[in-house]
Amino acid sequence: MSKGLLRNKKPWGGRFKEATDELVERFTASEHFDRRLFRHDIAGSKAHAEMLARQGIISSQDAHNIIEGLSEIEADIEAGRFQWRPELEDVHMNIEKALVDRIGEAGKRLHTARSRNDQVATDTRLYVREQIDRMDRLLSLVQEALLLQASERPALVMPGYTHLQRAQPVLWAHHMLAYFEMFKRDRQRLKDCRKRVNICPLGSAALAGTGFPIDRQYVARRLGFEGISSNSMDAVSDRDYLVEFLAALSLVMVHLSRLSEELILWSSSEFSFVDLPDAYCTGSSIMPQKKNPDVPELVRGKAGRVFGHLIAVLVQIKGLPLAYNRDLQEDKEALFDAVGTVSLSLEVMAGIIAHMRPREERLAEAVKSGFLTATDLADYLVKKGVPFRQAHAIVGQAVAACARQGKELTDMTFDELRALHPNIEEDVFDVLSAEGSVGARNCPGGTGFARVKEAIESASLWLRTWKK
């Protein structure tokens, strides 16, 4: 007997004269990362064994032993007592082999009427479903922190920007709630994706289904799936749901990254709009004065990593002939890393948002320069009968004149203002202040005080009534 045959511990050994090359073993093994699916794998196997017994395909005694054995294995894994063996390739075979070692014959019957192809598809769906629910909870923490920022300072005015140039005054609360909306859509997207994730592929077997009289509906119900897949070939090779999930996670990162970018800008001395909590910043090894926004910088950087995983899975599946191909094993590291990255980013951002403090005096000062109420002056003229285009031109000239003289619109005297247009009256000063400007913007979705107060209420109602 060759050394190789002795080493060949795989259950398909019958077909092979030679043992797997050690390098190939290392190359094909996934146990070191897919072991993370052990709970899902065991849950799937238990449901499968129960069903096999109900259908009379295996005895109830065998099913009982299988289920007991699997519970013990699960406890061993959780306690760190389980001996993982890379030569057994993946999580599925590690667990199956341990079961056979533990309970003998009965363990060898578990794999009746299934294949690792429908098994891994089931495990991954169970994992993604669980992670969608976790992401939903983490997103709610970020939303709560944003809502807290908004409701603590419902009347704080700050400059709003377009092209990163001061544009119009807005409420700090309005700015916070803009992100609340983004994360709301993220949660809705994940909920939608969950519908397509929550379908049971088990019973598709290798690719063609099985000749055993299995009850797929029973297994699906036991595992909390909403239904069963309709085509066995599709079911073992479909990873669309992963693409959807990674795309939804990518958008979460887009939103976190945009918010991070703002926190980085706002905490610079150029802006000085917010103080980030010390506990979420780091110092410099050389410059004693530094307090760096490394947390939002890392979140911004990690976004790229998650987008990369989305692209990786798209590329992995685009050229695959039906049905299962081993390329599909590559989806897992991408998936796990994306999940880890996004969940940590959400947790840390929830903390930083909850504890950051806007520098109110700086914001109040900032809204006073940059001609933020120029549009309000133009709107004022319109209300006094001047066509908007003409009003726009008049105010544009006034801004240019002020800029030349180094002053703001609010520094103009009544006579200077009056010279712009004879319809201008004393009440013009009401619209030139930042508060006046904000107060006027009461259209639905606008930054007006009344609208934002309602938005705070409806955001909090949304959080309380949202069902994932």
Nearer to ligand ARG, 114 or 116 (CB): 116
DSSP string, 273-301: -EE--GGG-B--SS-TT--B-HHHHHHHH
Look up residue 436 and give its two tokens. Answer: 């006046």
Nearer to ligand ARG, 179 or 241 (CB): 241
- 77-96 residues in contact with ligand ARG (CB under 6 A) are 90
Task: Mark whether 284 is an active-site residue.
Answer: yes
Query: Out of 59, 60, 71, 284, which one is annotated catalytic?
Result: 284
| Residue of 3, 326, 464, 467 interacting with ligand ARG (CB under 6 A) | 326
d(CA 53, CA 463): 44
Site mask for ligand ARG (CB under 6 A), range 443-462, x = bound:
--------------------
> In this structure, is the dihedral angle defined by the CA atoms of residues 85, 89, 94 and 100, taken in order, positive or negative?
negative
d(CA 104, CA 108): 7
Q: How many residues bind ligand ARG (CB under 6 A)?
A: 10
Look up residue 291 and give its two tokens. Answer: 């307090």
| Residue of 329, 341, 433, 437 interacting with ligand ARG (CB under 6 A) | 329
| Residue of 43, 249, 263, 328 interacting with ligand ARG (CB under 6 A) | 328
Nearer to ligand ARG, 200 or 420 (CB): 200
Look up residue 226 and give its two tokens. Answer: 């909403």
The distance of closest approach from Cβ of residue 117 to ligand ARG in the complex, given in angstroms and rounded to an integer, is 5
The distance of closest approach from Cβ of residue 335 to ligand ARG in the complex, given in angstroms and rounded to an integer, is 11
Query: Out of 163, 230, 269, 285, which one is annotated catalytic?
Result: 163
Residues 6+ apart with CB under 8 A from 12: none
The distance of closest approach from Cβ of residue 116 to ligand ARG in the complex, given in angstroms and rounded to an integer, is 4
The distance of closest approach from Cβ of residue 125 to ligand ARG in the complex, given in angstroms and rounded to an integer, is 13
Task: Mark whether 40 is an active-site residue.
Answer: no
Cβ contact 128:241 at 8 Å: yes
Q: Which one, of 379, 385, 127, lies nearest residue 242 by Cα?
A: 127
**Burial class of residue 441, CB neighbours in 10 A (0-12, 13-18, 19+):** buried
Helix (H) or strand (E) holding 137: helix 116-152
**Residue numbers annotated as active site:** 163, 284
- Residue ranges that bind ligand ARG, judged by CB under 6 A: 30, 34, 90, 116-117, 120, 324, 326, 328-329
